[in-house]
Amino acid sequence: MWDQATASTRSKEAGLASDSDWWRGAVIYQIYPRSFQDSNGDGVGDLQGIIDRLPYVASLGVDAIWISPFFTSPMHDFGYDISDYRNVDPLFGTISTFETLITKAHVYGIRVLIDLVLSHTSDAHPWFIESRSSRHNPKSDWYVWADADGEGLPPNNWLAVFGGTAWEWDENRQQYYLHNFLTSQPDLNFHNPDVRQEVLDVVCFWLEHGVDGIRLDTVNFYFCDKELRSNPPLPKDQVLATIAPSVNPYNFQRHIYDKNRPENLDFLRTLRATFDRYDGRIALGEVGDDLHGLDIVAEYTRGEDRLHSCYSFDLLSGDQITAEKVYSVISSFEAKAPMSHPTWAFSNHDVVRHTTRWGLTTIKAQTTVLSLLICLRGLACIYQGEELGLSEVELTREQIRDPYGFEFWPEFKGRDGCRTPMAWDSDRPHAGFSKGVPWLPIPDKHRPLAVAAQERNAASMLQKYRDMISLRAKWPILRLGEIKDLKVEKTVLSFVRVHESGHIYCAFNLGDEMSEFSAPQIKSGKRVFGEFESALMPNRLRLNGWSSAATFYK
């Protein structure tokens, strides 16, 4: 049973005030606050709900939580359109509530990361209201404005991620403004030093409020080309989009001028210097690019003067997970930035849940993929409900709320299917999420997977997550070790994690059938998890379909 005494012990052991390297190899639990726990019955999750569920989060053994945006917002993109960076939207609570959340999370030994969207604001933000009021006000250059071309059309061919042109005409200024997402999300002009300073001040505001780190949304979108040059086309055989690859024209351009600009590196160095003024705080970037994501992650995390960590969508996409796919991603990153600290995730609030995306219909398959995540070098990020084995939810056109889904329905149904509320107790109304009607429905298929039901089952997916996260904490090699001898043979991926304390040989069969494979000769080893089967030939092992194993040796 997880109680306050356990929490106090863990807090002391965690050493929250002194361990500036806590993030290396950390396990982070992402909370989408609208869908985690509603404390006041309005059908929307809130900060108090997170506080109420901290004992559960602590029982998972994670090092930190990442909370998706809770700032003041019109909610056209559900918080990723911020109208006040320094306040909490009343829907979620108050600044005081958030401060209480940090304090109580720290008691449980859990650090807190927030999600800052700095590339764009809401069009309801006072900065944009002033900027669009005229061409000569003090904030007239705070956003990306451009004159129409000779025919009244946008200045270039840039497209918005959520569909259509990335330019919106403003009648008052008689100019276009840039929006890489919704028209209500105008992009800030990072070429303006006042904008860069204001953004840094916002970062400092929250660091001084005690957050342990910041997840930086769309960190590669900060700068666009100052000359506003048009993007070249991308051949269709190179399209690798994570979301809506065939229906969204955004995927048919090489995005070399509207994002991924070299000017961003200098700003990231300044940003890192800002974080370094606060001991033990981390900057974790999201790189939104399907074609060159790993290259950008490597570039943004190389050395000690850029971001602490980044993640791309390379393992957040694909209809199936294979040994070859994982080998390609990991070996590519290790070749580009072997000293950097990547973040790996299989699910989040933007993509189809990986149990559905990869067809993982059994606990055995889900556990194998979990063991892979836990054994990879870098930070591991888990999305709420993943630990329950929740699958993607099919919603009707009337049920969806995501503007992305509205634009491309029915070929692409938006992101709501991975954002439905947590199932806490199948016997309670709305599965214990809320006393009111939830903002998105909770499907019947999630009720048997509710937390309360899995707590009573020692073989549940929830317990598998607790066990594997505990293993990662127990073995410094899995948190801090290098990754060597990466190999793929048939459906088996294998590698060795190497640390001063020894080696752990890890192998994962990501296929349905038993597979035999080459393995190093280990004279004496200690089981970490799973079981290898010996083969008839020397230096050969076997693993059943969808299974994994790891052995420690000196």
Q: pLDDT tens digits for 163-213?
A: 999 999 999 999 999 999 999 999 999 999 999 999 999 999 999 999 999
Query: Do both 357 and 396 map to the same domain?
Result: yes
* Final residue before a domain boundary, out of 474, 493, 519: 474
pLDDT digits (tens, 9 = 90+) for 246-284: 688 999 999 999 999 999 999 999 999 999 999 999 999
Mean pLDDT over residues 409-435, rounded?
96
Q: What is the CATH number of the domain that holds 206?
A: 3.20.20.80
pLDDT digits (tens, 9 = 90+) for 468-499: 999 999 999 999 999 999 999 999 999 999 99
Residue 461 belongs to what H/E stretch? Answer: helix 461-474
The answer to whether position 364 is within a domain reads yes
Mean pLDDT over residues 382-389, rounded?
98
Query: Do both 510 and 457 map to the same domain?
Result: no
The answer to whether position 134 is within a domain reads no
* Final residue before a domain boundary, out of 474, 508, 541: 474
**pLDDT at residue 3 above 60?**
no
Query: Do both 235 and 307 map to the same domain?
Result: yes
Longest dimension (CA), the chain: 80
Catalytic-residue membership of 286: yes
Grade residue 241 by pLDDT with cuts at 50, 70 and 90. low
- Catalytic position from the list 217, 289, 299, 334: 217
Query: Do both 375 and 267 map to the same domain?
Result: yes
Query: Do both 309 and 232 map to the same domain?
Result: yes
**pLDDT at residue 304 above 90?**
yes
Query: Do both 79 and 216 map to the same domain?
Result: yes
pLDDT of residue 527: 95
Q: What span, in angstroms and rounded, lies between the C-alpha atoms of 184 and 120?
A: 10
The answer to whether position 288 is within a domain reads yes
Q: What span, in angstroms and rounded, lies between the C-alpha atoms of 63 and 393?
A: 28
Grade residue 437 by pLDDT with cuts at 50, 70 and 90. very high
Question: How many other C-beta atoms can be found within 10 angstroms of the C-beta atom of residue 363?
Answer: 15
Q: What span, in angstroms and rounded, lies between the C-alpha atoms of 466 and 363?
A: 14
The answer to whether position 132 is within a domain reads no
Query: Do both 312 and 387 map to the same domain?
Result: yes
* Final residue before a domain boundary, out of 455, 474, 493: 474
The answer to whether position 172 is within a domain reads no
Query: Do both 371 and 520 map to the same domain?
Result: no
Q: What span, in angstroms and rounded, lies between the C-alpha atoms of 27 and 343?
A: 9
pLDDT of residue 9: 40
- Look up residue 12 and give its two tokens: 């002391």
Query: Do both 87 and 15 map to the same domain?
Result: yes
CA 344 vs CA 135, 190, 376, 499: distances in Å: 44, 28, 8, 20
Query: Do both 426 and 542 map to the same domain?
Result: no
**pLDDT at residue 6 above 50?**
no
- Catalytic position from the list 38, 123, 187, 286: 286
Q: What span, in angstroms and rounded, lies between the C-alpha atoms of 43 and 433?
A: 8
The answer to whether position 136 is within a domain reads no
Query: Do both 450 and 353 map to the same domain?
Result: yes
**pLDDT at residue 17 above 90?**
no
Q: What is the CATH number of the domain that holds 517?
A: 2.60.40.1180
The answer to whether position 415 is within a domain reads yes
**Structural domain harbouring 542:** 482-553
pLDDT of residue 240: 66
Average pLDDT taken over every residue of the chain: 94
Quote the number of domains for the chain: 2
The answer to whether position 291 is within a domain reads yes
pLDDT digits (tens, 9 = 90+) for 58-79: 999 999 999 999 999 999 999 9
pLDDT digits (tens, 9 = 90+) for 439-453: 999 999 999 999 999
Catalytic-residue membership of 217: yes
Query: Do both 364 and 280 map to the same domain?
Result: yes
